[in-house]
Amino acid sequence: MKRITLILMTFALAGMAAPFTAAAEDKVVATIDGKPITEGDLAVAESEIGSDMGTMPPEQKRTSLLEFLIDNQLFAEAAEAQKLNEGADFETRLNYLKRRALRELYFDKVIKASVSDADARKIYDDQVKLLKPEEEVSARHILVATEDEAKALKEKLDKGADFAELAKESSKDPGSKEDGGNLGYFGHGQMVPQFEEIVFKLKKGEVSDPVKTQFGWHLVKLEDRRTKQPPAFEIVKDRIVQSLLLQKAQQTAVGLRGKSKIEIVDPEIKKTVDARNAAMQAQSKPAAAEPPKDAPKDAPKEGPAEAAKP
């Protein structure tokens, strides 16, 4: 049930990514045979298909939404002309769409409203407090093919040559060469071991002797050393909010299911659900304690409660 609930919540959250609000004055943007298409209609359409339009410019997006609504209306009228709005099939579809619309409104008006930026900020602050201080360094390097080349460049540096200029002239690393060998800031575990071992031992401004890795020979200059800062709240806020919404939605779904009598009538689906629930219960049960090896063969096996007693 938990997996189904999670899938349901994911779809529901996707549906609320672009919640719609009708304009106070529902302005008419087009008419079809005198029937209006309004700003409110555009907003509803955007909540349904807006995420499929990517980064389309706003005016182009509005035009595409209007074209979608025009086609939607024309096809609907054609269906009515064929009397497709009558019968059980239409009623089934209509009822489904009504339930979906109500679900999306509930998410937008109740679930989403229950999670605030302040909630996200609290989660962020709590997580930041748990972070252990982590050192990171900023360095430059020059990569060459042979030890002799590295030694020759080290002699130039010892005589006052500019590290960044030598990196531009001589380094074989295409990713940093044009920026004077600049590697930016990095922490432990982000570089190959031989490189990391040297760079974290250097003093600020110090240049290493030639260092060999699988990429070649390096000269490394330590630019700076600092304690790594957590990402800014604004960068991770949306991700935290989405996580809180998913948690809230899942909790709500579990609560609603608990208040309802749900009976699965289809035998095949019921069989699948029962098997899955049984597997989940088996995984959640603690393993029974094994009897001592020297216990008599007829000695009763201890259950978890008895095994815990002294």
Locate 70 and state its tokens. 């025009």
Report the distance separating Cα 203 and Cα 102, nearest Å: 63
Locate 240 and state its tokens. 């935290």
- Residues 55, 147 within the same domain: no
Element housing 69 (H / E): helix 58-81
The strand pairing partners of 212, in sequence order, are 217
Report the distance separating Cα 48 and Cα 158, nearest Å: 65
**Span 224-272, pLDDT tens digits:** 999 998 999 999 999 999 999 999 999 999 999 999 999 999 999 999 9
Residue 301 CB neighbour total at 10 angstroms: 11
Locate 208 and state its tokens. 């290493």
- Residues 140, 253 within the same domain: no
**Span 106-151, pLDDT tens digits:** 998 999 999 999 999 999 999 999 988 899 999 999 999 999 999 9
- Residues 30, 68 within the same domain: yes
Separation in Å, CA 15 to CA 5, 11, 156, 229: 15, 6, 62, 34
Residue 192 sits at φ, ψ, to 5 deg, of -65, 150
Look at residue 213 and tell me if it is in a domain: yes
- Residues 127, 265 within the same domain: yes
Domain count along the chain: 3
Report the distance separating Cα 94 and Cα 97, nearest Å: 5
Torsion of CA 64, 66, 69, 71, to 10 degrees: -70
Domain around 183: 135-227
Beta-carbon contacts of residue 202 (< 8 Å; ≥ 6 apart):
139, 208, 220, 221, 222
Q: Which among 253, 309, 41 has a CA at the least distance from the CA of 49?
A: 41
Look at residue 296 and tell me if it is in a domain: no
CATH code for the domain of 207: 3.10.50.40
- Residues 95, 55 within the same domain: yes
Exposed (0-12), middle (13-18) or buried (19+): which is 202, by Cβ within 10 Å?
middle
Look at residue 157 and tell me if it is in a domain: yes
**Span 165-189, pLDDT tens digits:** 999 999 999 999 999 999 999 999 9
Whether pTM exceeds 0.85: no
Which of 9-13, 41-45, 96-100, 292-296 has the least mean pLDDT? 9-13
Locate 147 and state its tokens. 């030890």
Residue 137 sits at φ, ψ, to 5 deg, of -130, 160
- Residues 163, 28 within the same domain: no
Look at residue 309 and tell me if it is in a domain: no
Report the distance separating Cα 211 and Cα 143, nearest Å: 9
- Residues 124, 169 within the same domain: no
